[in-house]
Copies of this chain bind each other. A is one copy, B any other.
Amino acid sequence: MAAPSVAVDNLNPKVVLKCEYAVRGEIVIHAQRLQQQLQTQPGSLPFDEILYCNIGNPQSLGQQPVTFFREVLALCDHPCLLEKEETKSLFSADAISRATTILASIPGRATGAYSHSQGIKGLRDAIAAGIASRDGYPANADDIFLTDGASPGVHMMMQLLIRNEKDGILCPIPQYPLYSASIALHGGALVPYYLNESTGWGLEISDLKKQLEDARSKGIDVRALVVINPGNPTGQVLAEENQRDIVKFCKNEGLVLLADEVYQENIYVDNKKFNSFKKIARSMGYKEDDLPLAGDASYASYKAEKDGILQSLARRAKALENAFNNLEGIKCNKTEGAMYLFPQLSLPQKAIEAAKAVNKAPDAFYALRLLEATGIVVVPGSGFGQVPGTWHIRCTILPQEEKIPAIISRFKAFHEGFMAAYRD
């Protein structure tokens, strides 16, 4: 018999070697192990719960879903409910009416059928109307492709754009690892540009231009520019002027602009507003989006739930940011949007050497120690990319608000101990 020809060491190396996904990497696996240990041997660790600040996964940390969305979803899942009398007392009137409208737009009211490849036309019409209303410019349902989450959309674009290893995509550093992983998976070249930490993670056209020319001089055919706004993991919100320059740059250089705007509702500062690149590209004007309207039965509770979530996130962001900035050797930019803080660590030389001795990046070493001492899970900045020689961690603002003070005090105690232990 022949030996099996397929084994881990001869799988597609693009998948096995190049795709690293720090938000689900070593630290998280270690945290899951510690969580099991807490269950089987309570009291065996210096903390009694694991606090996941690594992944932007609010509902896993107790954030409640928005009732209106869930009502509509349940009614569309099981449309027979709409014919029952009891439904009127169980569901809000506007959820019933919204589900009825959605079902009417689905051929045969068949929510279990394959749809048009771009997504159900009636839903794309509603989304186009919402975008038009948000931006003040017309939107066309035929230009919209619905995907199940952002990742398949990014993969689809990379697959279309990347033909071989000489095709490049301009990506911010730090960036969300979905971009580096999907570019590697599709066999292209990541062309980095650095966000400027000293100007609040600003995106500078001069750096874009320099990186583009540098890549072209190496024979890379740069095809697209990725912009994440609000930023992940960096939390900044782009200024309108800056966005105009980016659009102009893409037009001049013949680049596809890939705008990741998933955090458009998560803005925490009064002096910044989210502007879609679609709107910027067509220029000026801003209105409301297509959700329950004032006067609808659910509107008050919908608005209260949504505002409650966003206001609480803003308070958590501010509390964590202040706490980080009060610690020796940590400097944290303001979180203007999204769900993350990305503080910079100035670590003592001794700590850097201790990390090197165990073959770890200094920020990964720090994150591992933090986990072991406190149960707090963060992601090392090296998973997102950073200016060489700088070290960061990404910490979400998602743990429940009442847990934030405990997180801050545990973090503070750990950090002070760490700095004292490795002081140069």
Contact = CB atoms under 8 A, between A and B. Distances in A.
Contact of A148 (B14, B60, B148, B159): B148
Contacts of A161: 6, 11-12
A112 interface: yes
Contacts of A58: 113
Interface in A50-84: 55, 57-62, 65, 67, 70-71, 73-75, 77-78, 80-81, 84
A141 to B, nearest CB: 15
A332 B277 CA distance: 55
B162 A12 contact: yes
A294 interface: no
Contact of A254 (B4, B11, B256): B4
A278 interface: no
Interface string A93-129: 0000000000000011011111001000000000000
Contacts of A60: 107-108, 110, 113-114
A6 B224 contact: yes
A223 interface: yes
A421 interface: no
A169 to B, nearest CB: 11
Contacts of A77: 70, 73-74, 77
Contacts of A253: 2, 5
A64 to B, nearest CB: 9
Interface residues of A, number: 62
A367 interface: no
A108 B221 CA distance: 46
A221 B255 contact: no
Contacts of A403: none
A108 B62 CA distance: 7
A112 B59 contact: yes
A202 B111 CA distance: 36
Interface in A1-26: 1-6, 10-16, 24
B59 A113 contact: yes
A160 B81 contact: no
A359 interface: no
B73 A78 contact: yes
A171 to B, nearest CB: 16
A381 B255 CA distance: 41
Contact of A71 (B5, B78, B185, B254): B78
Contact of A5 (B59, B111, B255): B255
Given A87-B90, A159-B15, A160-B12, A2 B254 contact: yes
A402 interface: no
A417 B58 CA distance: 63
Contact of A90 (B11, B55, B70, B84): B84
Nearest to A84: B90
A145 to B, nearest CB: 14
A89 interface: yes
Given A57-B114, A60-B110, 6 more contacts: A6-B255, A11-B160, A15-B160, A65-B112, A70-B77, A71-B78
18 contacts: A2-B253, A5-B222, A6-B255, A11-B163, A13-B163, A14-B163, A15-B160, A55-B114, A57-B113, A59-B112, A59-B113, A60-B107, A60-B110, A62-B108, A65-B112, A77-B77, A86-B90, A87-B90
